[in-house]
Amino acid sequence: MPATIVIGTQWGDEGKGKLTDLLAKDMNYVVRYQGGHNAGHTIVVGEESFALQLVPSGVLYPHITPVIGNGVVVDPAVLVDECRKLNARGIDTSKLVVSANAHLIMPYHYELDKLSERMLGRNKLGTTKRGIGPTYADKASRTGLRVQDMLDKDIFMQKLEVALHEKNAILSKVYNRLSLDIREIADLYLTQLAPQIAPMVQDSVGLIHDALEDGQNVMLEGAQATFLDLDHGTYPFVTSSNPTAGGACVGAGVGPMHITRVVGIAKSYVTRVGAGPFPTELTDETADILIDRGHEYGTNTGRKRRPGWLDLVMLSHAIRLSSVSEIALTKLDVLSGFDTINVCVAYDIDGEKYTKLPYQQAKFQVAKPIYEQLPGWSKDLESAKTKTDLPKEAVDYISLIEHYSKTKVSFVGVGPGRDQFVPL
Ligand code: GDP
Ligand code: IMO
Ligand code: MG
């Protein structure tokens, strides 16, 4: 019966891949419910590192059925390639299920993502250029193609013709680009990819409900994070889906009464990739230390992440939005060696103190962090196994987070490895 949601509480890259893999030991299904290959989820097992984009993070366990849910946007070429690379490393992907209702990322979505970013110029969002926004836009405007359409040539061609008619007009008349050739797209999607995708396509919703009714454990793995949520994030500097817990229900087709646990992943500091406001952002030598020690470069895009101190105003808001029942705090090891650690507990906005997130973006944009300062610690945490291995200052840091967020920290990450965590 029980379903667990794993979500990011910040701007992504909190360590969702690692946590999902960790919790997957006790699960039967791991379901991705939104986003696409804009995600990069890292799992480190011994000397090996896996950077997953579309395939759910439970895939490394043979007992898990990984599911790409209806809310995900899928580039079938990327999916086939990711499976091939995993297979080459000895990972079996034969149990992977793809929802028939998931929307397809098409070649024109990449073009439009890049062109609209270029058009925005210095106001660009800094997207991953993977066609995510344009694909979700077509889903909402009801001109999208879905995975199930790849299994019916006539329907696929009918829909593609309608969509391409409009897209080619935009590409040529708005952006002065060459039109895309319908035969080339059809050849790629129907002739080359459909036979490889077909065995994975299923009624994912029916499958998940059968599993829940059978008493099996289902985990819903978020991509991106709370403040990249289309509704609740720092709009317009967001992604085009809903990573928050409500999005998990929609994107997997599971009602809220099935959800018994929501694990909110928080990095011990904060990072952001792409443009947008960031109250606790650091640009001094502390930033360089965090980037260097935390290896803060995009998992798939390689872009340098913007670092900052932990923001408890945002974390508390994320907890509210998704009914987070416990926090998994990652990368605590990266904070070893600082004399003092700052934690944002409120904002100063035009001389006024805010302990809750302002709803007006213009205010958030100018919010100045009010910090509590804590003494740091020098001990290397990478081999910590239990709470008693953590220095008092680190335990105090965790207690402060629990105090302000009113939520228990149940795991602490002390290194990238699968075994590098401390249960609390
Ligand atoms: P995700 O997108 O939320 O899955 O996170 P990413 O995989 O993009 O980025 C998180 C990075 O931090 C990866 O390189 C992980 O291997 C690494 N990582 C995860 N947890 C820890 C931790 O507790 N300590 C350290 N040092 N690295 C971690
Ligand atoms: P994971 O799952 C961090 C950011 C992009 C950009 C914005 C919109 O690994 O945490 P998009 O391509 O989605 O239209 O870009 O969202 N972004 C991420 N940042 N981690 C991610 O995924 C992200 N996925 C998208 O940098 O600012
Ligand atoms: Mg990532």
Q: What is the pLDDT of residues 361-374, one digit of tens each?
A: 999 999 999 999 99
- Cα-to-centroid distance, 270 and ligand 3 (Å): 13
The letter for the amino acid at 206 is G
Percent of the chain scored above 70 by pLDDT? 100
Please give the pLDDT value at position 50: 97
Q: What is the pLDDT of residues 223-245, one digit of tens each?
A: 999 999 999 999 999 999 999 99
Q: Is the CB of 415 under 6 A from ligand 1?
A: yes
pLDDT at 343 over 70: yes
- Cα of 276 vs centre of ligand 1, distance in Å, is 22
Average pLDDT of the chain is 97
pLDDT in tens, 121-180: 999 999 999 999 999 999 999 999 999 999 999 999 999 999 999 999 999 999 999 999
User: What value does the CA radius of gyration of the chain take, rounded to a whole number of Å?
Assistant: 22
pLDDT band at 59 (very low <50, low <70, confident <90, very high): very high
Ligand 2 centroid from CA 32, angstroms: 15
Contact (Cβ atoms closer than 8 angstroms) between residue 7 and residue 222: yes
pLDDT in tens, 286-321: 999 999 999 999 888 889 999 999 999 999 999 999
Q: Which amino acid is at 344?
A: C
- Which atom of ligand 1 is nearest to 14's Cα? 3
Q: What is the mean pLDDT of residues 193-207?
A: 98
Instruction: Give me the residue label for tokens 């099996």.
Output: 216
> What is the C-alpha to C-alpha distance for residues 349 and 61, in angstroms, rounded to an integer?
48
User: Which ligand is in closest contact with the Cα of 222?
Assistant: 2
CB-based contact 127:117 (threshold 8 Å): yes
Taking the CA of residue 274 as reference, the ligand 2 atom at the shortest distance is 27
Among 60, 293, 305, 331, which residue has the most ligand 1 atoms within 8 Å of its CB, making it the best to mutate? Answer: 331
Residues designated as active site: 13, 41
Q: How far is the CA of 229 from the centre of ligand 1 (A)?
A: 20
Query: Which residue reads 């091939």 in tokens?
Result: 84
Nearest Cα residue to 414 out of 332, 351, 359, 347 = 332
- Chain-centroid distance, C-alpha 233: 13
pLDDT tens digits, residue range 375-388?
A: 999 999 999 999 99
1 falls in which pLDDT band (50, 70, 90)?
Answer: low
- What pLDDT is stored for residue 299 in this prediction? 82
Q: Are 299 and 364 in contact (CB under 8 A)?
A: no
Hey, whose CA ends up nearest to atom 23 of ligand 2? Answer: 224
Which atom from ligand 2 is nearest to the alpha carbon of 225? Answer: 10
Residues 6+ apart with CB under 8 A from 71: 33, 34, 102, 241, 242, 247, 250, 251, 252
CB 42 within 8 A of CB 51: yes
Predicted confidence (pLDDT) per residue in 87-121, tens digit: 999 999 999 999 999 999 999 999 999 999 999 99
